Structure formats: C-alpha cells, structure tokens
Structure 1
C-alpha cells in the first residue's frame, strides 16, 4: 500500500461561542497534484480517503492549492464531499486548476483568496493505436467533458454551451471573476473586514491561453510584416510566422 497522500487532515478543539461547549473543527488540506502516486485502479486509496472523511462529524473546511491531476480521483472526491452530511466550506488559497476546480465545486460555500486563481479546461488523455482506438479516446474525452460540465453547471447556473466555451479556451479566473461567474461565492477577507466595506470592488480578470497566444502572434505578424508561408512556398531566410507559432506552442507547454 502506498502511503504518500496528496491530502492531510488537521483537527483542533474550539469552544462554541453560543453553547460554550467544546467542538472539534476539522480541516482538510488538498495540496499538490491530485493522485500523484496512485488512485485509479487502486481500491485502497479511495477507501482510505472515504474513511478519513467519515471518521468525524460536523462541518469541515477544505483548503485547496492544486494544479489538478487525475479527473477520476477528482470525481470521486467531489462525490464524497457532496455526500458528506455536514457543511463543506472550500477555501482556495493558491490555485484550483483543472481537476482541482471540480473538487472545489462540491463546497456548500466556496471562498477564494484575493490573490488566488481558478482554471478550467478540456480533459486530456494519452491514446495509442489505430484510428478506431483514437475515435474511442475522443468519444471518451467528450463524455468526461460532459461530466465535468455537470459539476460546473450545478454550482454556477451557467449554460452548458457557455461552460463548454470557457473550457475550450482554457480559462483562468481571478477571485473576482470566479465570484462573478458563480464558480465561487465570496472572497476571503480578514475576520474584522465586513464584505460591505468594499466600496469599489476590484475589476474582475478572465483570460485564456489561446487568446493570449493569438494576441502575441498578431503583434509579431504586424511588427515583422511577415506573411504566413504557404505549404508549397520555399522557406525564406529568417523566422516565419509558422516558425514563431511552433516556438510559442513549445513555450506554452511549460507555462
């Protein structure tokens, strides 16, 4: 059994201000890649998470700082949190990207740090084989995308077409935009700061990697006045737009 986990529980005893009785505050931390070691085809890991989740009662707080990972693991965690009897407050203090954003949708309340980000995109996989196997992989990805949209739709109330478009563009949202679109309920503030104190809320930020790359390519085309080379045309000295696009694609894999 693999013991390395991407989650960690911390419990502390506090006093209920109304009843003055001791209560246990349960906090779950989801940090790093989801299921980096093992989850899929591993009956132990999901069962261990379920046992730890249900080992106590009452409301829980889930802190998320994850770039994503295994969508199967994320789906199971989402279902477990949705099925949990107590309240689930999700707090995003760094990033909730890809599969981690799906888990965040299970919160009865989702709060984001003002300096955190959320990212949603299309699912991806690795496939090997002939055209039949490729078609099966594409059909599988379509179904996975629909299942992911289910979680976003329940939380945000946005149309499936809108959500699909946001995923196609690999959309990044700051806290304000996530609240505006319904992916989050509010922004984390200091305890002494009341929400109504914010007279002029910050401008929301939303951008997509495709849009950023397209804007950069357009600027390069305009600056160097380089027409896009046709496939049959001989290559001219210097860097063509196609070459620049290839370089951008390579760079984007490390962004």
Structure 2
C-alpha cells in the first residue's frame, strides 16, 4: 500500500493579539444537520466547528488524537461537515492524520471550509457530496492591538498561508500560484468542481449523506452571534460573559426569551453598532 506524501504544516505559538474564529460567511452557509447516513467502522466524525468554542464544544486535536489511539494501526475514515474555526487546531489534526500509519479516507458530507478544508487534505482519498462544498482562503483571524501588533499579525499569517497553499497544491496537482490566487479570492468549490480541480478524488454516493434537522437551533444561533461579536473585536472572555447573561439571564434581569436565528443576528448587529459607537 502506498500512502500520499503530504507536506507538514508548522505552526508556532499563536500571538496573544489575535484569535482564530470561524469565517462568518462559512458559518452562515453551514448546515449542521448534515451527517453520514451510515458511518464505516473506525470513523472520526468532524461535524462541528474546529477547536473548542466559548461553550466548550467543537472538534479538538485532543479528541482526534484519542480517537486515533483507539483505532490503532488500522485504516480510518474521517467524516467532515464543518465551517472551520481555529487554524492551529486544524493544523494539529491535519498533521496527526497525515502521520497515520494506515490509509485515511476523507468524506466531505456537507461543508469543509477554512481549517476543515485543511484537515480534508490529509486524506489518501477524498470523497465529497455532489451538493457539498469545499472552501479555501487565507488564514482568517480576529486581531486586536496597535499598528505594530497588526504588522506582526500579518507577518505571522503569511507563512501559514504559504504552507496551506503548498498542501492544497500537493493534493490537487494545481500550481501553487493558482492555489494562492484562489485563497485570495476565498474560493468555493461545489462537489463537481472540487473533483475537477483535484481537491477531491471522487463524488460520494447520493445515499451516503443524511440531512436532518439542524442541531440545537438556539445554540447554533448563539455561535453565529459569537462569531459576529468576534468580528467586531470583542475579546473572547467578554463575549463569553455577555452571551452567558443573554442566554441565562442575570439576577434582577428580564426573563429569558429564546429567539430564532434572525432575532439573534439582528440583536448582535445592534449590539455591534453600540460597541463601535
């Protein structure tokens, strides 16, 4: 058996001035109800944001490492439906999978965006649903600080983008310069397009994907609000406290009311306007 030789992505320590978050557009286009109709044995499911979010949820490298230890020296299947998230966690998961001693089968069930698309590239074969999407872009972060911090953030991100371009190029056979141009454009590929350019090897059978109701609608809406607040520059600790108050209420506050996604988004946009003013 011959396994692909894929580049390693080296990621140092993340500067304190910025944090990796899921791209708001990717999060908006993510359907969390998509899953596998039937999962093969030794499957690792990546069906959430990458990295631990402010609610303690998400797919982490620690969890994937534990799953790989359990599977041992056997072939592994990786099912993906994720809007991306923490770049460092995505890189760690990618490196673990590329170092696995046996074949890695990746199945993109719905969406593999941003950090999740990097993870997908660790597959020796990559299947994608015809109605699925793969999105590649430059590393996306929330940065805070003065002009020196901003320059440092750009300097830190540049080698990451170059490393990702190398990974996409190695998997697809497309020239690295073309990949870099696609990343600059935040390029979206549907299933057929991903196969055509080599970012996936084949289409998934139609009966391999199941689409159910989105997971906890309120929780998903809250995550979307969290992403919008992050984009506005609010630090994670403050977002955690604020959303905790909104969801659970505080002593003496008005009774808790559950909103739908549109209400949450409108509230977030109003809050962001207030923060910026």
Q: Give the alignment's TM-score, normalised by structure 2.
A: 0.56
Alignment of 1:19-30 (within 5 A): 25-30=41-46
Identify which of 125, 149, 157 aligns with 2:173: 157
- SS of 1:89's equivalent? strand
Q: Which has the higher contact order (CA 8 A, sep 6+)?
A: 2
Moved over 4 A (4+): none
Deviation at 1:148, TM superposition (A): 1.2
Alignment of 1:89-100 (within 5 A): 89-100=105-116
User: Structure 1 128/37 Cα, relative in aligned 2: closer, same or farther at 3 Å?
Assistant: closer
1:119 aligns with 2:108: no
CA RMSD of aligned residues (A): 2.5
Structure 2 equivalent of residue 196 of structure 1? none
* Structure 1 unmatched runs, 5+: 1-9, 13-23, 39-44, 192-249, 251-255
Contact 2:128 2:200 in 1 (8 A): yes
Deviation at 1:50, TM superposition (A): 1.5
Deviation at 1:47, TM superposition (A): 4.1
Contact 2:51 2:61 in 1 (8 A): no
Structure 2 equivalent of residue 54 of structure 1? 69
Deviations 1:39-97 (A, max 9, x none): xxxxxx64443232122231111110000001100101000000111111101111001
1:146 aligns with 2:162: yes
* Matched residues, number: 167
> 2: distance between equivalents of 1:185 and 1:48?
27
Deviation at 1:133, TM superposition (A): 1.5
Deviation at 1:25, TM superposition (A): 2.3
Alignment of 1:100-139 (within 5 A): 100-139=116-155
User: Structure 1 68/48 Cα, relative in aligned 2: closer, same or farther at 3 Å?
Assistant: closer
Whose Rg is larger?
Answer: 1
Contact 1:90 1:110 in 2 (8 A): yes
Structure 2 equivalent of residue 21 of structure 1? none
* Structure 2 unmatched runs, 5+: 1-35, 55-59, 208-268, 270-277
Alignment of 1:158-177 (within 5 A): 158-177=174-193
> 1: distance between equivalents of 2:205 and 2:70?
30
> 1: distance between equivalents of 2:206 and 2:148?
55
1:67 aligns with 2:87: no
Deviation at 1:158, TM superposition (A): 1.3
Q: Give the alignment's TM-score, normalised by structure 1.
A: 0.60
Contact 1:25 1:59 in 2 (8 A): no
